[in-house]
Chain A
Amino acid sequence: MKIERLIERIEGEATLLFEREGDGSIRFAEIVFPHFRGMEKILERKEALDALAITPRVCGICGHAHLMATVRALESCYDNAGYRVQISSKAETIRALTLALEMVQNHFKWFYLTLLPSVPGFETNRDASLLAVHRAASLCAKAIAHFAGQWPHTSYALPGGVMCDPTHLELMQVESLISRLCEIFESTLLHAPLETVTQMSQVGELFECEGDLPALLRHFQRAGWERFGQSHDRFIVLSEHLLGPSGKALKTRLASVDLEMVEEGQPTSPQGYTNHAKPVRYKSDLYEAGPLARAMVAKQPLIRQMHRKYKDASMTRIAARVVEIAALLQRCRESIGVIDLNEPSYIEPPVKLSDIEAVQGRGTVEAARGSLIHSLRLRRGKILRYCIVTPTQWNLANGTPEDPGVAQKAMVGLPDETAAEVVFRSFDVCSVCTTQ
């Protein structure tokens, strides 16, 4: 029996097609993304630096991550051509700070706007939390705007640094915005000081706390959902990030990653639906990307313990994303203190990209939803080819019933579509970036 379910309240739209067993449980689910813009094609033949204005427009939520991936890809072009691009630690810190704030706003919104409304029977003060989440997102955007001029869609970073030259006044303002974000976190998601949250190592401690996250986890437990959403138990993190190293984890066994092993395929839909999401694999295996992957590779004690108990269930995935907010905010607070305003914001690269005959480069970044790769080929500063592999491609692309994709596998065996939708959303779906 086939059931279609249209999934909105994400960036864009997806359709889930369920095949069900006689008792109504999910036998297989196909995920279809019907929208497409053709960003990679649009980038071809344009000036290399134009990509800095175009790629942030791939996604209205993770635009800054795309900007950073482009910048790193262009900087790697310099590297590959034998020129060293110097970046001041001030510019590095500002880039990392704004990127972290973009992730924080995403996690807040995902929890309250995307995930919670789909969980049946979970009572929360929706109006109050809606206002809190909008306030949090707005504070993040303001803090980013102090450095980047605006959010969403900023283009303030470029090979060699950043364009802004903040003063002490701006740093103080950002610091105060971050403090207010910490307060919102501590009064909504998890009623405990940030430091306590990041140092927790026992699942029991988390469950005993007050706040919307522990309440949701307890709700999952009561409903008997604590093991729902388990998938391949393989995780990937393609670049170093603020909270840890790159690497892959097979269950809890860690190994390093080599970007050459990433393969992008063609979109499929066994049922013949229009689908524009390209599948992506590492050495022909499927991996999960995102906060859970980051926590597993970074050996985050609390999430590792939760994983030991519940494996890669939706509950672990949800906790990983929320706990990451605490860690990110903590790092943001520390970052402000280490910015040395006397350092240059920008150091001019030794040559112009148009002086380099032919070169290719690749930039990776950990975005809110996981690993993002931009690769490009340039000739005399013009883009010949551009390729974007987004985090949600890892999690959501279709496999087959014998070898299902990450989110697909997580939905198999669930009792009904409602549960499947919650599990699907636990991956923080993004349709606009998946299909670009």
Chain B
Amino acid sequence: MTDKREAVKKLFTAKSSRVETNKGDVYYQRLYAQCKKRIEALKTLEPFGNKLELQDLLSEEGVDRRDFMKWVSATTAMLMLPSFFEPLVAEAAEVMNRVPVIWIELQDCAGNSEAFIRSDGPKVDEIILEIISLEFQETLMAAAGHQAEAQLHDAVETFKGKYLLFVEGSIPTAMNGFYGTIGPSGETFEEHLTRLSKDAAAIVAVGSCATFGGVPAAAPNPTGAKGVMDIVKGKPIINIPACPANPANMVGVILHYVLTGQIPELDSLLRPKFAFGYRIHDNCERRAHFDAGEFVEEWGDEGAKNNFCLYKMGCKGPMTFNNCSIVRYNEGVNWPIGVGRGCIGCSEPDFWDKYAYERPMADANIKAPTGGVEKTVDEFGLGVLTATAVGIGIHAAASALAGKKSDEGEK
């Protein structure tokens, strides 16, 4: 047992955070010029739908420039861009209403909508609710029923090829889609998703259900639930797993798209590397205790009172790729490990079945989701990495590469 623990310790303390955060001056200069051009182009567009200007709103709400720049600075860092991009990120936030977003809910619990509508940042409620052009969102919008159907139809027609399609919830495929139909026509979720994907610029699968099937896909998967990437082919897909997905990452993806016109760099599971490029364990506030061999041995013991490492209580942080140890939840107030509750690995596929609640990983006979903790996302993501050099405008190229993700990921 001691040997095993030592071996595990060695494995998990190995240097693993190998996301390339510095791509060199040439790369960033080129990217900067490209973003600048993109934002200038967006500025010439009329805002879709709402005509509200960010600066007016901010001052109306009493948010000063300094607060806004703090948010900009944090967001630039989150997107793994050098600090000279900050003015560009600020400009991008101001033209966010030039990019239409359609948000659909399928086999979901609305948890991601819930997380999103109170997303973080100083008064980002305003930025989100007022500035992005959320053309369709069942929970938030005023229209309902047939009126909403009409609104969705209009949004798709008006923004053909331009909108980001956010998908929340999995897609039931058993019994010909019997477990999830939508609207008066009885269209199945699968048909609905396929139809709306067709004209989207890119699809953002939000939450564990939309990405990997989530809890509905847990054994025995009674409804035949699947994730978006198992249904939609030939389109760029960005996965933002976790249950709920972190709003900061959703805003990050939109902002990245506004800024660059491209989908962010993805790993083998199509997750943006800026958010899923490292493990929870790598930046965990309890990491020092792990290295010192100080563990919580049972709930509520002295170790728990002293914030020792939760690994032995079944924490899945060492094999879970996500930025919640940095971004945290609920406007940065806290995260599960902050209150002494181990990570349950909710941004990894099939975690409902693979990771029991309390069993330590060493006893649980499970493999890391990417095939081995040692392998970094960079090695796995190489195949897809190239795809991100291609703008979303060139659908075919990007999606052909993205479509290969599973093969290349396993190599």
State the A residues within 8 Å of B (CB).
4-13, 15, 34-39, 41-42, 44-45, 47, 49-50, 52-54, 57-61, 63, 113, 117-118, 126-127, 130-131, 134-135, 137-138, 141-142, 144-156, 158, 160-161, 163-165, 274, 276, 344-348, 421, 432
Between A and B, 13 residue pairs with Cβ closer than 8 Å are A8-B139, A35-B107, A35-B181, A36-B180, A38-B216, A38-B223, A39-B215, A41-B220, A44-B220, A53-B344, A148-B339, A154-B336, A345-B304
**Which of these, B145, B216, B334, B344, contacts A155 with CB under 8 Å?**
B344
When distances are taken between beta carbons in the complex, the residues of chain B under 8 Å from A165 are 300, 304-305, 339-340
The digit string for B101-137, where 1 denotes a CB below 8 A from any CB of A, is 0000101111111110110000001100110000000
CA distance A81 to B113 in the complex (A): 41
> Which residues on A sit within 8 Å (CB–CB) of B304?
163, 165, 345-346
With A42-B222, A49-B356, A147-B339 as known contacts, state yes or no: A138 contacts B109, CB within 8 Å. no
Taking A149-B338, A161-B299, A432-B110 as contacts, is the C-beta distance between A41 and B222 under 8 angstroms? yes
| CB atoms of A134 and B108 under 8 A apart | no
What are the residues of chain A within 8 A of B129 when measuring CB–CB? 130-131, 134
Residue of B nearest to A48 (CB): B357
| Cβ distance B61 to chain A, nearest Cβ, rounded Å | 8
Q: For residue B145, which residue of chain A has the nearest CB?
A: A6
Asked if B64 is an interface residue, CB under 8 A from chain A, the answer is: no
**Given A52-B357, A149-B339, A9 and B109 contact (CB-CB distance below 8 Å):** no
A373 to B172, CA, bound (A): 26
Bound-state CA distance A382–B36 (Å) is 58
- From residue A312, how far is it (CB to closest CB) to chain B in Å? 25
B side interface size, CB within 8 A: 71
**CB <8 Å contact, A13 and B299:** no
Q: Are A348 and B300 in contact (CB under 8 A)?
A: yes
A346 CA / B296 CA spacing, docked (Å): 13
Alpha-carbon separation in the docked complex, A35 to B357 (Å): 27
**B218 within 8 Å of A (CB atoms):** yes
Q: Which residues of B contact A34 (CB under 8 A)?
A: 180-182, 186
Partner of A47, one of B139, B149, B356: B356
Q: Assess whether A150 is in contact with B330, with CB atoms less than 8 Å apart.
A: yes
The 3 closest A-B pairs by CB, nearest first: A60-B111, A346-B300, A38-B222
Q: Which of A54, A145, A148, A149 has the most CB of B within 10 A?
A: A149
Query: Known: A41-B220, A52-B357. Contact between A149 and B335, CB under 8 A?
Result: yes
* Given A37-B215, A134-B118, A135-B125, 7 additional A-B pairs, CB 8 A: A15-B184, A36-B180, A126-B142, A137-B118, A151-B330, A155-B341, A156-B339
State whether A54 and B352 are in contact (beta carbons under 8 Å apart), knowing that A163-B299, A347-B300 are contacts in the complex: yes
For the complex, would chain B's binding face be called helix, strand, loop or mixed by DSSP majority?
Answer: loop
A53 — which chain B residues lie within 8 A by C-beta?
344, 352, 357
Binary interface encoding of chain B residues 128-160 relative to chain A, with 1 for a CB under 8 A from any of its CBs, else 0: 011000000011111011101100000000000
Q: How far, in angstroms, from A414 to B149 measured CA to CA in the complex? A: 25
CB of B329 within 8 A of CB of A151, answer yes
B117 pairs with A161, CB closer than 8 A: no
**Residues of B with C-beta under 8 A to A158:** 299
Do residues A60 and B110 form an inter-chain contact, with CB atoms below 8 A?
A: yes
Known A42-B216, A50-B356: A146·B333 in contact at CB below 8 Å = yes
- Residues in A neighbouring B338, C-beta threshold 8 A: 149
B219 within 8 A of partner (CB): yes
Cross-chain contact A7 with B145 (CB below 8 angstroms): yes
B149 touches A149 (CB 8 A): no
Check A345/B107 contact, CB under 8 A, given A60-B113, A150-B330.
no
**Interface presence of B225 (CB below 8 A):** yes
Asked whether, in the complex, the Cβ of B184 is within 8 Å of the Cβ of A145, the reply is: no
Q: Closest chain B residue to A346 by CB distance?
A: B300
**Is the CB–CB distance between B357 and A13 below 8 Å?**
no
Contacts of A47 in B (CB 8 A): 356-358
Distance (Å) between the CB of A32 and the closest chain B CB?
10
The reply to whether A164 and B144 contact each other, CB–CB distance below 8 Å, is: no
Are A150 and B335 in touch, CB under 8 angstroms?
yes
Instruction: Verify if B20 is at the interface (C-beta below 8 Å from A).
Output: no
Taking the closest CB of chain B, its distance from the CB of A306, in whole angstroms, is 28
In whole angstroms, how far apart are the Cα atoms of A328 and B182 in the complex? 36
B contact residues around A54 at 8 Å (CB): 215, 218, 352
Q: Is the CB of A42 within 8 A of B179?
A: no
On whether the beta carbons of B219 and A131 are closer than 8 Å, the reply is: no
Contacting residues, chain A, for B220 (C-beta < 8 A): 41-42, 44
Report A252 CB to chain B, min CB distance, Å: 35
The answer on a CB contact under 8 Å between A49 and B357 is yes
Give Cα A131 to B223, complex, Å. 38
Of B109, B111, B129, B149, most A-chain CB atoms within 10 Å = B109
| Interface contact A35-B179, CB-CB below 8 Å | yes
A164 in contact with B340 (CB, 8 Å): yes
- Shortest CB-to-CB span from A68 to chain B, Å, is 15
Within B175-208, the residues touching A (CB, 8 Å) are 178-184, 186
Contact B244 A152 (CB under 8 A): yes
CB proximity of A395 to chain B, nearest CB, Å: 18
Q: Is B331 in the interface zone, CB < 8 Å from A?
A: yes
Residues on B with C-beta less than 8 A from A117 are 142, 144
A35, A141, A147, A158: most-surrounded residue (chain B CB, <10 A): A35
In the bound assembly, the distance between CA atoms of A324 and B114 in angstroms comes to: 22
The chain A residue with its CB closest to the CB of B343 is A149
The answer to whether A138 and B145 touch across the interface, beta carbons within 8 angstroms, is no
A160–B215 CA distance with the chains assembled, in angstroms: 26
Known contacts A156-B341, A160-B299, A346-B299; A45/B219 CB under 8 A: yes
B144 near A152 with CB under 8 A, answer: no
Please, how many angstroms separate the alpha-carbon atoms of A150 and B244 in the complex? 9
- Specify which chain B residues have a CB less than 8 angstroms from the CB of A134 in the assembled complex: 117-118, 125, 129
Q: How far is the CB of B372 from the nearest CB of chain A, in Å?
A: 24
Flag if A12 contacts B110 (CB, 8 Å): yes
Give the residues in chain B near A37, CB-CB below 8 Å. 107, 172, 179, 215-216, 222-223, 225
Are B334's CB and A141's CB within 8 A?
no
Shortest B310–chain A CB gap in Å is 9
Which of chain B's residues has its CB closest to A42's CB? Answer: B218
Q: Contact check, A348 vs B335: say whether CB atoms are below 8 A apart.
A: no
Task: Tell me the bound Cα distance from A151 to B336 in angstroms.
Answer: 10
Q: Please tell me if the beta carbons of A432 and B109 are within 8 angstroms of each other in the complex.
A: yes
A127–B56 CA distance with the chains assembled, in angstroms:
15
CB <8 Å contact, B105 and A138: no
Q: Please report the C-alpha to C-alpha distance between residue A41 and residue B221 in the assembled complex, in whole angstroms.
A: 8
Task: Output the least CB separation between B330 and chain A (Å).
Answer: 4
Answer yes or no: B337 CB below 8 A from chain A CBs. yes
Inter-chain contact B331/A60, CB cutoff 8 Å: no
CB-defined contacts of B125 to chain A, threshold 8 Å: 131, 134-135, 138
The chain B residue sitting closest to A55, CB to CB, is B215
Contacts of B225 in A (CB 8 A): 37
